[in-house]
Every structure is written in structure tokens, then in C-alpha cells.
Structure 1
Amino acid sequence: MARHLSARPAWPEGYQSAVALAFDLDGPTGDAMLNKSLKDNMRYFTEGSYGPFRALPRLLDLLKKYQLSATFFIPTWVLEHWPERCERIIEDGHEVAYHGHRHEVFINCNSEQQLEIMEHSKAIFKQRLGVQPVGFRTPSGDWNSDTAKLLFEFGVQYSSSMRGDDRPYFHLNEGKVGLVEIPGRWDIDDYSALALFELPSFPSGGDRISPYQQVASNWCHEFEGYHQQGLCWTTILHPKVSAKPGRLKILDTLFKQIRSHDDVWVSHCSQIAKWWRSNYDN
């Protein structure tokens, strides 16, 4: 990877920091839900389908309330089954990006399998939404040593998959600048504070649902830390986890905190990546 040497990046138009709100619209994808629940027990399937069917519209309403733009990483299996919900994401001015087809474990896929997933996803985005995404978030939170090169040669411009910094940076492709990485962190993943699934057991170890006011406070403090140091803050949030009725107040509190500053650049991941490439590709 190649990093910009300045600890404090310069953002456009005098903004002090950048925020890329990002949501993974997983729905009932992944082996745990699709391979077991869809066949054997609809309870597990509906746990996931609640995300695109019921939680997404209220999340989009809240984003509109605060006039915030966001990026949605969508497994294309979800797009096939809830196309109208995904169409509204585009209509509301948000970005859509790659997140596998069935939320595959990319580190377990060889290069041919990864390329097949990307080709399949590209075709579905084009057919269903008329768009060609330029961003990618690995569904499983990992990838193998060939993935960054494969994605860049496929036409992807940025990733929000790795954890290597609190500023964007570049993955190298044969010694040259490749993907822009917009790194996130697991502690800004709502699963770590708000998820409890009976079967499959996740997180393992039982009930880890934290007090909602504490979660809101933690996320606001994290945002403030990034803002004060002039960094780039992104999220790993899931509508089916954090956009439930009682938890929407957490997001409302966070969005209000972000909007309390007039020097925060809130934009799509693609716009932040484009700006980074234009200013730091040297």
C-alpha cells in the first residue's frame, strides 16, 4: 500500500474532515442465511429480509431529513429480490457499490471465482439499475493477495474493505497506484454493539446488545475524534441491525452531531476516492 505522508490531509473547499456514510444492505445473504434458513427455516430468512424490506425506507427517510448522502454496498442477490427498494437508493441521490452476489467469503475464493462474482454483479447492476458501480466492499471483511489487483483491472476505483489507516490510501498495482482504500473499523460496525442472532449464533457468546445511549455516544465521540484531527471517517452499518425503530434514534443522534459542524465534507465514497486520486496520486 502507498500512503500520503501528511498526517492531516487537505480537503476540498476548506473542509476540516471528510465523512463517507456507508451501509451494507446485506439482507438475508451469506451462507448462514441462504444455505440454511431459506431452505429449512423462514425465521432466519426473515431476520435478514427485514433490512431491505422494512428498515431501508426509514433509513432513507432519515438521511433525507438531514440532507446526507451515503453509499450502499449491496449484494446483487438482494438487488434481484428487492429491486424497487434499491431503485429508491438511486432516486434519493445515494451511491450503490459492489458487495458480492450472495455475500461470499472472498478470501476463500480464487481469482477466477472472484472475477465470476464481479462479472455477475456488474451485469445485475446494469440490468436492474442501469449503473456501473466504481466501488467495492468485501462482503466477508477479508480478501486474498490478488483481490486488489483483480478489482482495479476490473474497473473498480476504490475499496472500503481494509483497516490500514484513518485516511484514504492507495493499494499498489505492480508498483503503480491502484485502488483507493477508504478504510473503516470494526468498532464502527453496528454488529459489534447491536446484533444478536439466535441461530446462526452471532456474535458468539450470547447477548452483546449495548445500551443505546452508550452506542450513540461512542459513535459521536469517534466521529468527533476524526473531525478534530482532519481525517476521513466511514461507517460499516447495516439497515437490518441499526435501522430498527428503537435504534433509529442512535442514527438520528449521530447524523445531528455530524450536521452540527459546517466544515465536514459528507460525500459518497466515490467522490472522496476521486478527489483523493486527483490530489495525492503522485
Structure 2
Amino acid sequence: MPPTKPPSPWPTPYKAAIAITMDNLGEAQDVLKDAWPHPIGTHPSVTTQLPRMLALLDKHHHQRATYFAEAWSLGVYPAAVAALTRAGHEVAWHGFQHEVWGGLDEEQERESFRKSWKAAAAAQGVEYVGFRPPGGAVNERTWGLLREYGVGYVSPLGEFGIGRGGVVVLPFEWRAVDAFWYMEKFAGIRKQHGEREEVLDPGEFKEWLMEKIDEVVRTGEFMSILFHPFLQTSEEKFVVMEEVLKRISEDGDIWVAPCKEVAEWVREHPELFPAKSIE
């Protein structure tokens, strides 16, 4: 007799959980690197691509996403932030100015927290409860600062589970990130994952995502999908996003929710996730 499949750990009637996420709000990182020659507040990813992405989310069953935004950008793009919160999307934290988190020393890390929470307090409707570290890695001391600042979840590269101090870990993987497929500077990461080093086709990204979504539904797992607004630069790329949204929004087995809601569920039901707790 085949073994009985364990019941789903997700809210009834769902069998899997998927979060649609976005990273990088405007030119925060370029300004940090002194590589932004245009007027502040005019990045096309915010003025052009983001409204179209939000329209696609609304079109497909009013799906809500999580936008990991640099705190520096909150005051630069208040209208975009207001549009996100008004539509029910989560605005989560992505560093102050997209500083690569794994390279920060203790003083720099604490200063990023301090400046970011000050910026969030000044931004209407923003309360950071989640963090995606730029570069994908957290430092050992980050866990204490997350607890100190009341952050409920973190979204790094890594394993899903419940981390130190009860901070929920909602990870991403490189292949579920559009930049992995679309950007030249990810050639080394593509090679590490057994892919061609040259930039890959949006159709290949879509094919991988569709297969992975099927797998996540079969296994009952969590998945984070990441679309960067600044990379949605062609009709073909927008087609990928739209077809993925259509696929997940029409599947009654998939709970599509902002990261903060997934994290809240995991934190309130630790008995459903005991094998994947992280120490």
C-alpha cells in the first residue's frame, strides 16, 4: 500500500504557497554607485514598467505582491509607494540603498537599519515586516537586528523554515529570478547552475517557471518568484509575467499571497513545518 501523503500545511484548500515579488525601487543603487546621470525620481522602471506590472496583477484576480524596496526610494517615489499600498501590495525592505548586505560591517549594517526605519516612518502606509538582503545573504549579526527591529521574516537565498528567534525564512532561488536569465552579469551564477553563460531567452525562463510551479504544487512547498521592474523591457518579458500570473491565479491549489501573510501563517502554525525549522 503506498504511503499516505501528509496533509497540506497551507490554509484550506491550498496545497502550495507562491509569493510574487519585486525588487529594486528606482535608482537607489545607481545613485549609491554614482552611476545615475538623470534627474532623481525619473527612473522608467517606476514611471513606466511598474504601472503596467501592477495592472497585470490586478487583471489576474487582483493578485497581491511583495515589493522589496530600498528605504532611500520611499521618499523619492511616494506616489508609487502609495499606489502599491492602496492596491494591497506589501512594501518590504531591501536595504537603505541596495548596499550588498554580505559585505557590510557591524556599524554599516546597524546604520542601514536606523536610516531605513526612519525613512519608513516618514513614508505613509509603510511598516517593514520583511527583509530581502541585497545579494541574497544575511550576516550572523543580522538575526539579532531583525528581532530588535521587529522584522517577522527574511527572504534570502537558502532553506525555507523558521529561523533564529522565530524569524520566518521565505527564501528565493536564483532560477526563479528574472535577472538570472536576463542579465549579462549573472553569467557566472548561470554557469554554477549548469546553464549557458550567455543571456538566456525569456521563453526559457517561462518554461522553467511553469515546470517549477507544477513541482511546488505536487510537493506542497513555498516558492518566491521575482520580477524586477527595471528588467521588464520587452513585450516578450511582459508575456512571461502575464502567463505566469494566469497560471497561478487560475489554480485553486495555489495560495498566492504577499510574503508577510505567508510568514504569519508559518509563524502561527510551527507544528506544520517542524522538519524544516532552521537554527
TM score, norm. by length of structure 2:
0.85
| Contact 2:155-2:172 at 8 Å conserved across structures | yes
The 1-side partners of 2:87 and 2:17 are apart by 21
Deviation larger for 254-263 or 96-105: 254-263
* TM superposition shift of 1:50: 2.1
- Percent of counterpart pairs with the same letter? 27
* TM superposition shift of 1:187: 0.8
DSSP-derived class of the 2:163 partner:
strand
| Contact 1:194-1:242 at 8 Å conserved across structures | no
User: Residue type of the partner of 1:271?
Assistant: E
Answer yes or no: is 1:134 the counterpart of 2:129. yes
| Contact 1:73-1:97 at 8 Å conserved across structures | yes
Question: Would the alpha carbon gap of residues 160 and 9 (structure 1) be closer, same or farther in structure 2, given more than 3 Å must change?
Answer: farther
2:84 pairs, out of 46, 71, 89, with 89
DSSP-derived class of the 1:22 partner:
strand
What are the equivalent positions in structure 2 for 1:205-224 lying under 5 Å apart? 208-224=198-214
* TM superposition shift of 1:33: 5.4
Which residue of 1 is the match for residue 186 of structure 2?
203
TM score, norm. by length of structure 1:
0.84
Which residue of 1 is the match for residue 12 of structure 2?
13
* TM superposition shift of 1:243: 6.0
1:34 pairs, out of 24, 32, 44, with 32
Answer yes or no: is 1:225 the counterpart of 2:224. no
The 1-side partners of 2:197 and 2:73 are apart by 27
The 1-side partners of 2:171 and 2:7 are apart by 15
Which residue of 2 is the match for residue 171 of structure 1?
163
The 2-side partners of 1:27 and 1:8 are apart by 42
* TM superposition shift of 1:156: 0.2
Q: Which runs of 5+ in 2 are unaligned?
A: 189-195, 275-279
The 1-side partners of 2:32 and 2:253 are apart by 43
Which residue of 2 is the match for residue 70 of structure 1?
65
Which residue of 1 is the match for residue 225 of structure 2?
235
The 2-side partners of 1:25 and 1:236 are apart by 11
DSSP-derived class of the 1:96 partner:
strand
CA RMSD of aligned residues (A): 2.6
User: How many aligned positions are there?
Assistant: 260
Which residue of 2 is the match for residue 183 of structure 1?
171
Q: Which runs of 5+ in 1 are unaligned?
A: 1-5, 197-201
User: Residue type of the partner of 1:136?
Assistant: F
Which residue of 1 is the match for residue 53 of structure 2?
59
| Contact 2:70-2:94 at 8 Å conserved across structures | yes
